[in-house]
Amino acid sequence: MESGEVSRTEEVAAEAERNLEVAANKVRMASEQLQAAQEAAASAAMRAQTAHLQLSAHDQLMFTARRQVDDLSAKMDSVQAELAAAQQEFTLANSTQHLQQQGNIGQPQPPNFTDEKQQPLDFLHSPGYHGKRLAPYPYALPVAQGR
pLDDT of residue 100: 64
Given a contact cutoff of 8 angstroms between Cβ atoms, the answer to whether 109 and 99 are in contact is yes
pLDDT for the residue 4: 83
Cα separation of 90 and 26, whole Å?
A: 92
b/e per residue 95-122 (b: at least 16 CB within 10 A): eeeeeeeeeeeeeeeeeeeeeeeeeeee
Per-residue pLDDT of the chain (147 residues; tens, 9 = 90+): 688 888 899 999 999 999 999 999 999 999 999 999 999 999 999 999 999 999 999 999 999 999 999 999 999 999 999 999 998 888 887 777 666 666 655 556 666 656 555 555 665 666 665 555 555 555 555 566 654
Which residues neighbour 113 within 8 Å (Cβ) at sequence distance 6 or greater?
119, 120
Phi, psi of 71 (to 5 degrees): -60, -45
Query: How many CA atoms, within 13 angstroms, populate the side-chain half-sphere of residue 59?
Result: 6
| Residue 37: per-residue pLDDT | 98
pLDDT score at 93:
76
Q: What integer pLDDT is reported at residue 121 of this predicted model?
A: 60
**Calpha distance 23→31 (Å, rounded):** 12
84-110 residue pLDDT tens: 999 888 888 777 766 666 665 555 666
pTM of the predicted structure, to 2 decimals: 0.43
